[in-house]
Amino acid sequence: MKPLLAALRAVLVLTAVCGVLYPLAVTAVAQVPGLKDHANGSPVSVNGRGVGSELIGQSFSDADGRPLRRYFQSRPSAAGDGYDPTATSASNLGPEDIVDRDGEPSLLSTVCARSRAVGELEGVDGSRPYCTGSGVGAVLSVRPDRVTSVNEPCPAAPFVAEYRGVKVECATPGQDPRAGRIVPVRGAAPADPAVPADAVTASGSGLDPHISVAYAELQARRVAAARGVPVGAVRALIDEETTGRALGFMGEPVVNVLRLNIALDRAAPRRG
Amino acid sequence: MLTSTLPASAPAALRKLDPRFMWRNPVMFVVEIGAAWTTVMAVLDPSAFAVLITTWLWLTVIFANLAEAVAEGRGKAQADTLRRTRKATTARRLTDAGEETVAAAELRRGDLVVVEAGQVIPGDGDVIEGIASVDESAITGESAPVIRESGGDRSAVTGGTRVLSDRIVVRITQRPGESFMDRMIALVEGASRRKTPNEIALTILLAALTIIFLVAIASMQPLAIYSVANSPGVEGGFALGSHGVTGLVLVSLVVCLIPTTIGALLSAIGIAGMDRLVQRNVLAMSGRAVEAAGDVDTLLLDKTGTITLGDRRASEFIPVGGTTGAELADAAQLSSLADETPEGRSIVVHAKEAYGLRERHAGALTHAAWVPFTAQTRMSGVDVDGRRLRKGASGAVTDWVRGQGGEVPSALADVVDRVSASGGTPLVVAAAENGDVRVLGVVHLKDAVKAGMRERFDRMRAMGIRTVMVTGDNRLTAKAIADEAGVDDFLAEARPEDKLSLVRAEQAGGRLVAMTGDGANDAPALAQADVGVAMNTGTSAAKEAGNMVDLDSDPTKLIEIVEIGKQLLITRGALTTFSIANDVAKYFAIIPALFVALFPGLDALNVMRLSSPQSAILSAVVFNALIIVALIPLALRGVRYRPSSASRLLNRNLLVYGVGGVVAPFAGIKIIDLVVQLVPGMQ
Amino acid sequence: MGATTAGILFVGSLILVLVAVHVPLGDHMHRTFTSRHHWTAERLIYRIVGVDPDAEQVWSGYARSVLAFSVVSVLALYGLQRLQGRLLLSLGYGGVDPDVAWNTAISFVTNTNWQAYSGESTMGHLVQMSGLAVQNFVSAAVGIAVAMAFVRGLARRRTGELGNFWVDLTRAVLRVLLPIAAIGAVALVAGGAIQNLADPHTVTTLTGAEQTITGGPVASQEAIKELGTNGGGFYNANSAHPFENPTSWTNWIEILLILLIPFSLPRTFGRMVGDRRQGVAIVAVMATLALLSVTLLNTAQLAHHGTVPESVTAATEGTESRFGVSNSATFAAATTLTSTGAVNSFHDSYTSLGGAVTLLNMMVGEVAPGGVGSGLYGMLILAIVTVFVAGLMVGRTPAYLGKRIGPREIKLASLYFLVTPMIVLVGTGIAMAFEGPRGSMLNTGPHGLSEVLYAFTSAANNNGSAFAGLTVATTFYDVALGLAMAFGRFLPIVLALALAGSLARQTPVPASAGTLPTHRPQFVGMVAGVTLILVALTFFPALALGPLAEGIH
């Protein structure tokens, strides 16, 4: 009994020290000028109205989820319906998640679909290795006598006609796609696709406020066109909102999408 | 040798398959259960593969038992020889009334028996009366008779040995059935063998590894079932079904992974270690003592008989006054001709070696009058052709010179002191001729260190063992000998009880101490020491107290005993390392074989390019069994041990048994696979 | 500068700073745990707790105190979660479900910080800062205390006493963890981590949509979460969340905090046993394994083998842009090499071989450098096992630091290294044998198997990171993983203390040329080798059916 009593008292006193005094002391220090803004979430406001946090990414799409052409687009997000800070999450899908299941697209098909969509939006080639032209994973289920394209349910036309002399069929709904050896087909897509990696993958938090410089550059032409300003002006803004590696070697150079879009709105207000 | 004992040991190996015996070796017990299980499976669902796997699993168990049986067999042969010499003897017991004849088995402790020339000594005891020469070849194998006499440190006699001359009275010191011979038989047979602490520790580690692998393989089953279920369109191959990995393959995998190599050889290593001692005529009373020998930090060595030859020898003639060396040598030689002590002989020898003086025979000098050494005069000499020569202790000879009216040169005292200071003994030689009495010089007698001692002690030092010389000599003499012999430390003017306190002091510092002893007053120290080697020539008390007995009574053997102890531990460690290192290759053989049908990519792990999954698994099992047989000689002989620092020793053994243990099975399994793939049903 | 070069500099700068800092910090901890002087504040605490700080405990007394403190901690944390709805700062969240509350209580008390809940939608500020964060401090302090008791077992001679748990606990919190955590917290705020007690508030975004911006005492919790190798995030996204880890340089600081104490404790150990070289050898084993792992993980992630990464052309799924692939991999290595389990990127989406490395890191038993305290005693016990096998090969009864490894010692050491793999393998086996637990997998095939294997490996090794696709908010996983965490933490602690008690009683054997030297590169290589071989042999079958089956084509 004695150690239990001592333990109870110890838990209480250490809770007071570590669970009350410490966080309150740190909070007090954090409220000094210079830290205060950070401690309160780095809020960003436009014309005095809070529009979010510099650190929390946002979606720049319309009510139906279609990307707004006049804004730079953030990365895909797995947080709730996208950039929901109350449901932060990653996709958690694995590197070999390549077979669609019950209408749920696999990670590969998701990547392919995103790539195709970004390609269309930005007017570049959206093809990628292991993707079909229709924007799903190019994956075959191979049995000696029968080959199916597992991510292309009938009546779709399979992305290849033949595999090693056997005719490739579309996937019959309801059939177990694993009924053969699963073979992804790389296809003829260029090794260096036009759509950058961060544009087709979800971040860890689902709140990534940044995109790569390459993805920003890719979007510059479309945004400039939508706003009717020269591409050079947009590129200049990208440069301004680009954060290099800390101390030259930590992390990667990134562009803050919210700040870039706010800067855009300020520099080139939408006409009409 | 092995080829002859292997078949002989086979019946014993089969008898050991009895589970009541097997369970004492947890690793091999698991193999036996596995073999029994595969036997059932092979009967229910026969195939070439099943029969071959089952056969080789049984062979694995049998090979392990064979290793132990062979090791025991060597001891058994020796025990049988001993038994033959132990005939039913009768004893002549002394009673108040006189003498009675009883069977040797009826003798009790404290009984007095008489033994005369030609009779066999009926039991262990001490000579309390008389002196006799005894043939101890029955236990030592040495045919030269030894002297046993009452009252000294050579009083112990052993039952079963034969008195060759004279008559002795022996007080029996053994209890019935516990004679030295009985214990010796039990020891070499391994009947009284208990696991040593280190063996127990290693067994625990091996059991832990066995459990880990059992669990690793058992838990693989649901994973395998899931994997099969997840690939409905793919054939699992011969090893995999919808119920997971087949039992046959599972058992093979377990047997290959658990440390069977060391598990099979562990007990053989221990028995063989004892056996190696027996071959050097040392009897260890327990395996623990042998192990402790490997750990020894401090060796206490008696000076006399161990480090030095035990007698002093002339090493130098130092003339004083106007005498020449040759003159002195001549006088010294002449005065020693009749001196048959080792010192006297050594003077003659040195005179010949150093000055080329031809040896003269005492008998040739017919008119010489020899003056023998007496405790009163403390000198000896000769009177020949009017010349009187005397040699002896400095005081005695100078007194004689002064008494004859001669002068003692002042230089003499310096020489005498110098010789004493160097640990030597000065003998002063003087001559009186025609009234001219003068001191000729000094013979330097030195306690001679045995050849090769320094090298041996250097080796000990490299092994991290501190050597301490124990002697009754004064500090000065002791230091000189210690320096010459190269021991690390010495204890001078030691009384028997000092030995005990030295042993205790060393142990208090956490060190393990080994020592030899023979006298009754050595017994407490022998009992206290971690390794106490009693000389067979010594007293019964010493033999009781020590945990080893050297039948050759050679005190320098302690060094070999230490090496054997170390070799025993090294062999265990090396084979454990080898056994575990082997698993790497076995995994690379079996895991791809199991799952390659399901996941063709895993073929990349089949680095040995084994011909088929069946052949891969069988080859691993066969290798696992054959490696036991291949290593039996090593287990019996022990890993080669060369004294050197721990670091260097470890580097070598790691390279041979660690790296070698990883590499060897890759080659071995590949070679076996090349043969096995030809067997029908292996594709 | 290329991404690879920058990644190497990132690792190199961490190494440089650790090399510089581990000496003063290790020495500070040595003073802390050997000093006879009590601070006034500490005396006050001892009076409240009701213990005599100058009375030492034998191993069993020490173990009883550890267990009593942990049991009470679990109950307190469970109660606090269950009563959340009626307390302050609950943000409107009700009491936590019993399953989750039990799992979470065990999880934080065992220094695992496995999260079966989503922080931002389950836990109010009070539970976070006065419940979870308190355990971040004290569970780490327990680890340090046990490590110190273990080292005393090696350092002392002929005594049964291993120190006083309450003193070690208090000093670890007051003299080591609190000061560093406070500095770390302020640094994180400077980088952008939030620190307030505000409720979530909703803003209208640039496009007119609504977004809820959360508040909370995040920085104070984040600092101790990394420093105490805890890993339980304030948010579900853990250190990937911009409010927890806002910039590439806060990322660097967080990795440093993770590695700081585990890499400094060997120095403390060396000082306590009176031979700094022994500490250097231990830290060298840890560093060798850690560097190997960081290199492998970075290589695997940058090489991005696998269908999806090759389609994407980089392993960016589940990583934050500001950190990039390489720094994410370095964080992943640090968090799995220690028992932290915080993540700044999501391991489930890593390449197969990269994911295998994170798994292997945990399977190594969290010793390179491992959790605060637990890494040190784990590594020392591995050293003892190594000494046993290798020591035989020099022809002596094995001894470590002069303490002989006899049957009792090897029995305890064997059980120690048996416990965790057994929990992992048995747990994984059971989960995979039943339909229900299998249904929790997000991914199919080998990757699904890896998710389950990862969960039990993480729980039993008290790591807390996850292949987060697995749905673990089920009764089976809450209970099974809770048990895995509890057994994986406390069985080894009791065994380690028993071993320490056994070692403390011995008279050490003096070293000689015949003793196996345990401070040379030879020994370092051997311990690393033994560790890797034991782990590889134990887990090879499971790894073959999981990440290897998935990753080798």
Summarize pLDDT for C174-188 with one digit per residue, the tens: 999 999 999 999 999
**A196 shares a domain with A113:** yes
| Three-state secondary structure string covering C196-233 | CCCCCEEEECCCCCEEEECCCCHHHHHHHHHHCCCCCC
Q: What is the residue range of A182's domain?
A: 92-201
Summarize pLDDT for C125-163 with one digit per residue, the tens: 999 999 999 999 999 999 999 999 999 999 999 999 999
CATH of segment(s) B107-174: 2.70.150.10
**A176 shares a domain with A105:** yes
Q: Which of A201, A226, A241 is the last residue of a domain?
A: A201
The structure tokens listed for C469 are: 């696709």
Contact across the interface for A181 and B230, Cβ inside 8 Å: no
Tell me which of B225, B463, B599 to substitute to probe the interface with C (most C C-beta atoms closer than 10 Å).
B599
Angstroms from B209 CA to nearest CA on chain A:
33
**A260 shares a domain with A135:** no
CB C385 within 8 A of CB C491: no
Q: For position A272, what pLDDT does the model report?
A: 40
**C535 shares a domain with C425:** yes
Q: Which of C228, C252, C273 is the last residue of a domain?
A: C273
Q: For position A270, what pLDDT does the model report?
A: 64
Summarize pLDDT for C290-331 with one digit per residue, the tens: 999 999 999 999 999 999 999 999 999 999 999 999 999 999
Of B208, B462, B572, the CB nearest to C392: B572
Number of B/C CB contacts below 8 angstroms equals 221
Mean pLDDT of chain C: 95
In a domain, C533, yes or no: yes
The SS3 call for residue C397 is: coil
Instruction: Evaluate if residue A175 carries a pLDDT over 90.
Output: no
Q: How far is CA C492 from CA C110, C387, C421, C462, C485, in A?
A: 12, 19, 12, 11, 11
What residues of chain C lie within 8 A of the CB of A211, using their CB?
A: 321
Q: For position C174, what pLDDT does the model report?
A: 98
Local confidence band at C457 (pLDDT 50, 70, 90 cut-offs)? very high
Of the candidates B50, B58, B34, which has an alpha carbon nearest to the alpha carbon of residue B258? Answer: B34
Which residue has tokens 């004992």?
B5
Q: Which of C236, C258, C273 is the last residue of a domain?
A: C273
The residue ranking higher by pLDDT, B421 or A192, is A192
What is the interface pTM, i.e. ipTM, of the complex? 0.96
Of the candidates B192, B189, B198, B187, which has an alpha carbon nearest to the alpha carbon of residue B288? Answer: B198
Which of A3-7, A73-77, C534-538 shows the lowest mean pLDDT across its residues? Answer: C534-538
Looking only at the bridges linking them, the beta strands covering B90-95 and B98-103 are antiparallel
Q: For position B191, what pLDDT does the model report?
A: 57
On whether B373 is known to bind a ligand per the annotation, the reply is yes
**A73 shares a domain with A98:** no
Contact across the interface for C349 and A88, Cβ inside 8 Å: no
Of the candidates C393, C375, C386, which has an alpha carbon nearest to the alpha carbon of residue C526? Answer: C386
**C382 shares a domain with C266:** no
- For A147, name the nearest residue in chain B, comparing CA atoms only: B233
Q: For position B4, what pLDDT does the model report?
A: 60
On whether B673 is known to bind a ligand per the annotation, the reply is no
The SS3 call for residue B247 is: helix
- For A141, name the nearest residue in chain B, comparing CA atoms only: B233
Contact across the interface for B234 and A141, Cβ inside 8 Å: no
**A209 shares a domain with A142:** no
In a domain, A77, yes or no: yes
Residue ranges, chain B, pLDDT below 50: 1
Contact across the interface for A180 and B233, Cβ inside 8 Å: yes
**C269 shares a domain with C391:** no
Which of A151-160, B144-153, C29-38, C170-179 shows the lowest mean pLDDT across its residues? Answer: B144-153
**A83 shares a domain with A131:** no
Which residues of B are designated catalytic?
A: 302
Q: Which of A201, A218, A251 is the last residue of a domain?
A: A201
In a domain, A86, yes or no: yes
Q: For position A234, what pLDDT does the model report?
A: 96
Q: For position B354, what pLDDT does the model report?
A: 84
Alpha carbon C141 to its chain centroid, in Å, reads 12
**A224 shares a domain with A197:** no
Sheet containing strand A254-256, edge to edge, reads A210-212, A254-256, A242-243
Instruction: Report the run of H or E that residue B436 belongs to, with start and end.
Output: strand B436-449
Angstroms from C288 CA to nearest CA on chain A:
23
Of B219, B573, B641, the CB nearest to C426: B219
CATH of segment(s) B309-448: 3.40.1110.10
Mean pLDDT of chain A: 94
- Angle (CA) B322-B323-B328 rounded to 5° is 165
**Domains in chain C, number:** 2
For residues B282 and B296, what is the distance between their CA atoms, to the nearest angstrom? 17
Interval A126-150 mean pLDDT: 93
Angstroms from A177 CA to nearest CA on chain B:
9
Q: What is the residue range of C231's domain?
A: 20-273
For residues C287 and C279, what is the distance between their CA atoms, to the nearest angstrom? 12
Q: Going by CATH, does the domain composed of B282-307+450-551 fall within 3.40.630.30? A: no
- For C74, name the nearest residue in chain A, comparing CA atoms only: A11
Q: For position A92, what pLDDT does the model report?
A: 94
Q: For position B286, what pLDDT does the model report?
A: 78
In a domain, C288, yes or no: no
- Angle (CA) B618-B623-B627 rounded to 5° is 155
The SS3 call for residue B358 is: coil
CB B458 within 8 A of CB B486: yes
What residues of chain B lie within 8 A of the CB of C516, using their CB?
A: 646-647, 650
**Domains in chain A, number:** 2
Number of C-beta neighbours around residue A266 at 10 A: 11
Instruction: Report the run of H or E that residue C138 belongs to, with start and end.
Output: helix C133-155
**A178 shares a domain with A153:** yes
What residues of chain C lie within 8 A of the CB of B230, using their CB?
A: 444-445, 448
B234 has a chain A CB within 8 A of its CB: yes
Domain boundaries, chain B: 1-75+190-277+563-674, 107-174, 282-307+450-551, 309-448
| Three-state secondary structure string covering chain A | CHHHHHHHHHHHHHHHHHHHHHHHHHHHHHCCCCCHHHHCCCEEEECCEEEEECCCCCCCECCCCCECCCCCCCCCCCCCCCCCCCCCCCCCCCCCCCCCECCECCHHHHHHHHHHHHHHHHCCCCCCCCECCCCCECEEEECCCCEEEEEEECCCCCCCCEECCEEEEEECCCCCCCCCEEEECCCCCCCCCCCCHHHHCCCCCCCCCEEEHHHHHHHHHHHHHHHCCCHHHHHHHHHHHEECCECCCECCCEEEHHHHHHHHHHHCCCCC
Interval C364-387 mean pLDDT: 94
Q: For position B2, what pLDDT does the model report?
A: 55
* Torsion (CA) B239, B245, B246, B249 in degrees, nearest 10: 70
Number of A/B CB contacts below 8 angstroms equals 15
In a domain, C317, yes or no: no
Looking only at the bridges linking them, the beta strands covering B131-135 and B162-163 are antiparallel
The residue ranking higher by pLDDT, B413 or C220, is C220
Q: Which of C257, C273, C289 is the last residue of a domain?
A: C273
The structure tokens listed for C291 are: 């560097």
Contact across the interface for A94 and C323, Cβ inside 8 Å: no
